[in-house]
Amino acid sequence: MSDLVRKAAENLTAVRRSKPLIHNITNFVVMNTTANALLACGASPVMAHAENEVEEMAAFAGALVLNIGTLTDSWVASMLKAGRKATELGKPIVLDPVGSGATRLRTDAARSILAGTRVSVVRGNASEILSLSGQAAAIRGVDSCDSVGDAARVAGQLALELGVTLAITGPTDLVTDGRRTLFVEGGHALMPCVTGTGCTASALVGAFHAVDPDPVSAAATALAFFGLAGERAGARAEGPGSFQVHLLDALYAITPEELAAGCRIREERHV
């Protein structure tokens, strides 16, 4: 069993045993879905966004997950406040830059959070992640890369530029901090047909990061767990409605042993 496979099983065991409180400031569309996914995997979700409450809540939490969907200015202010408190207390912060690059409000919010707090992992799709670069024009897009190695190199540069671990999800997920790069396989074609699967991935990264201080292994093992749950759900689903039901059941049912057996993470070390 590789170190990462062992780590995946250990992280899932630790989440179920310690039930870390995950403080989410997230969008209206996925609040219920996210809370249920966190509960299903064994974590304790809390959603709280009031400016006069977020610092207290962040202080209780094992990790803070900031998600910028359905954003307004007052939510950005709360995210920054919660993020600064989490930074001060050394709690891991996961940022999901939903729609960054699509509108100015979202792009600016994602960049402000990166600038004003110590984000540990950013989980998004390729275009959201690329929008975070101050030198977008100079970078060749991950989407347009000729090869997987090429994409990894671009992502690695951006991770170093931002000083974070990037978890770029897609048919194959890529996790990199610029020094170490992991590829995660799994998931199912129905996942993009359900709203909030990306947001759920980010929340699960938060849960695993609450028990695993290494952002690269926390993110990769969480995505491997989610990918395996997606495969299981997809094997039984008749469409996106039943997929969601089976997905929650799978997040609840998968054992650490099953995760170790079904986990597909491979490593590529940078030169």
Residue from 2, 32, 144, 255 binding its own copies (CB under 8 A): 32
Residue from 174, 194, 263, 265 binding its own copies (CB under 8 A): 194
| Stretch of 41-49, 82-90, 155-163, 176-184 lying at the interface with its own copies (CB under 8 A) | 41-49
> In 3D, which of 181, 183, 210, 222 has the Cα closest to residue 9?
222
- Whole-angstrom Cα distance, residue 64 to residue 120? 10
Residue from 88, 239, 261, 270 binding its own copies (CB under 8 A): 239
Q: Is 234 in the site for its own copies (CB under 8 A)?
A: no
Q: Report residue 143 as tokens.
A: 């989407």
Q: Which is nearer to its own copies, 51 or 231 (CB)?
A: 51
Residue 13 near residue 256 (C-beta atoms within 8 A): yes
Q: Is 23 in the site for its own copies (CB under 8 A)?
A: no
Q: Is 145 in the site for its own copies (CB under 8 A)?
A: no
Q: Is 178 in the site for its own copies (CB under 8 A)?
A: no
Q: Is 31 in the site for its own copies (CB under 8 A)?
A: yes
Residue from 2, 72, 144, 255 binding its own copies (CB under 8 A): 72
Q: Is 245 in the site for its own copies (CB under 8 A)?
A: yes
Q: Which is nearer to its own copies, 189 or 261 (CB)?
A: 189
Mind spelling out the 3-state secondary structure of 201-230?
HHHHHHHHHHHCCCHHHHHHHHHHHHHHHH
Q: Is 148 in the site for its own copies (CB under 8 A)?
A: no
Q: Residue 54 CB, nearest distance to its own copies (Å)?
A: 9
Adjacent-strand bridge partners of 266: 183
Q: Is 147 in the site for its own copies (CB under 8 A)?
A: no
Q: Is 255 in the site for its own copies (CB under 8 A)?
A: no
Q: Is 219 in the site for its own copies (CB under 8 A)?
A: no
Q: Is 129 in the site for its own copies (CB under 8 A)?
A: no
Give the interface with its own copies as residue ranges (CB under 8 A).
Answer: 27-33, 35-36, 39-40, 45-53, 56-57, 60, 69-73, 99, 102-106, 192-196, 237-242, 244-253
